[in-house]
Amino acid sequence: MVRSGSRPLLTLFPLMALPRWPWDMKHVLSLLLAAAFAPAFTPILNLPLSPPWATALPSRRTCVFFEAPGVRGSTKTLGKLLDAGPGPPRVIRCLYSRCCFGIWNLTQGRAQVEMQGCRDSDEPDCESPHCDLSPRAHPSPRSTLFTCSCVTDFCNANYSHLPPPGSPGTPGSQGRPTVPGESIWMALVLLGLFLFLLLGSSILALLQRKSCRVQGGSAPEPEPEPEPESGRDWSAELPELPELCFSQVIWEGGHSVVWAGQLQGKLVAIKAFSRRAVAQFQAERALYELPGLQHDHVVRFITASRGGPGRPPCGPLLVLELHPKGSLCHYLTQHTSDWGSSMRMALSLAQGLAFLHEERWQDGQYKPGIAHRDLSSQNVLIREDGSCAIGDLGLALVLPGLSQPPTWAPTQPRGPAAIMEAGTQRYMAPELLDKTLDLQDWGTALRQADVYSLALLLWEILSRCPDLWPGEDGQQTTTLPAGL
């Protein structure tokens, strides 16, 4: 184990013999060298530690894909389209489920396919190996939509059978004859019920909109309950952004959900916190708002707000820079990279981490050193140029400094447990796993723990570089020693 008394890894790679480069470049090279050899200096742990890519992915379901012209709500993003011919139908390999579906429109005894493809999740009713249709809706009095779900490859190419004409839900089924005048009374009752529900929902929406608005103006508004952990009304100091649009969920965690969205016509990532996670929101916001925390390889903070994609209660929001290529974990799962691209990712990661760790003065502003404490391939994003940007400062911690101004008073962690709190277990350094972190110099110890996590990220990147495994078409699979 790397014990508290052991020599820091960076001291194993002195740079005294190198040319007189700037201190920043020396620090970056030290991080790269230390990270590349960190696993070699760490004894094997008796833990199931393995990088995410080392686990074999489950087999993907292959389905027929078709969407009739004019159909709304495409399911193309739920899988990967395969080249199976010049025209429809095509073939799609599912990404999120092992379930195929099909939708047919039965009109006057003729069935016409409307949609075929992959489901977004494994539904409980998706167990049949065949496409057994069941009625779902009546777009018109003479037509019925039938759907099926099945769990074998290409099972949605065609349905096995149609329900008999007299079965419930089909156009041929007949109920009891209606008495003249009964339909009029039924229509009036339904119309009254509809108007009542419409009025009630409108009033409720107005009340909720009012409760979610930023306080201000002459008319008093009900104050939101202060969160027990924050001790004050967090919503009063956050602006509302009516132009902020939520598009789709791209990640879900224990305290927050990350959405892709738009702000003033620009793509952004929106980290929406629950009302119970106000303390986590305030801690992460405070880090992003530190002076001088702007770097090409650290995710850029735009603003903080309040609101939500649906109906209130509203929660606090962090609006951040969006990187459409996704996380490093997702990218390495789907792609290999040549030597140049691998080095670009590795160098940008080291530069971003070196910037976080560094204590600096710039333009009269003091930036303290920061330990990330949750560096993993899920928390690293791929930029458009193929380099990396470090994100998710939810567990980051401001480190004690040597040149901080007298007025600087960062929030100190409350006890050893708060210092040793960390994120993803498989990326944690041994001294965090066995609780032997050097608490006498915890700032240096947390920096070294980040470097250990960086080493595993470099391992993941280089393991997906086919230039290192000639003749194997980039399919090299690296496994850890037995017992690790």
| Residues annotated as catalytic (active site), given as ranges | 374
* Half-sphere exposure (Cβ direction) of 431: Cα atoms closer than 13 Å: 26
* Half-sphere exposure (Cβ direction) of 380: Cα atoms closer than 13 Å: 31
Residues near 334 by beta carbon (within 8 Å), at least 6 away in sequence: none
442-463 and 339-357 are packed helices; what angle lies between their axes, rounded to 10 degrees?
170
The whole-angstrom separation of Cα 429 and Cα 406 is 33
Local structure of residue 37 (DSSP, 8 states): H
442-463 and 23-37 are packed helices; what angle lies between their axes, rounded to 10 degrees?
70
In angstroms, the first-to-last Cα distance of the chain is 13
The full 3-state SS of 353-378, as one line of letters, equals HHHHHCCEEECCEEECCEECCCCCCC
251: β partners: 258
- Classify each residue of 335-355 as buried b or exposed e, where b means 16 or more C-beta atoms within 10 Å of its C-beta: ebbeeebbebbbbbbbbbbbb
> 273, 285 in Cβ contact below 8 A?
no
Q: If phi over 0 gives left and psi between -120 and 50 gives alpha, with beta otherwise, what is residue 228?
A: alpha
Residue 50 vs residues 2, 255, 277, 426, 453: alpha-carbon distances, Å: 18, 25, 30, 6, 12
> 318, 284 in Cβ contact below 8 A?
yes
Residue 410, number of CB atoms within 10 A of its CB: 14
Residue 320, number of CB atoms within 10 A of its CB: 20
Written as one letter, the residue type at 237 is E
Residue 403 vs residues 27, 356, 369, 374, 407: alpha-carbon distances, Å: 18, 16, 11, 26, 12
Of 154, 152, 130, nearest to 82 by C-alpha is 154
Three-class DSSP category at 120: coil
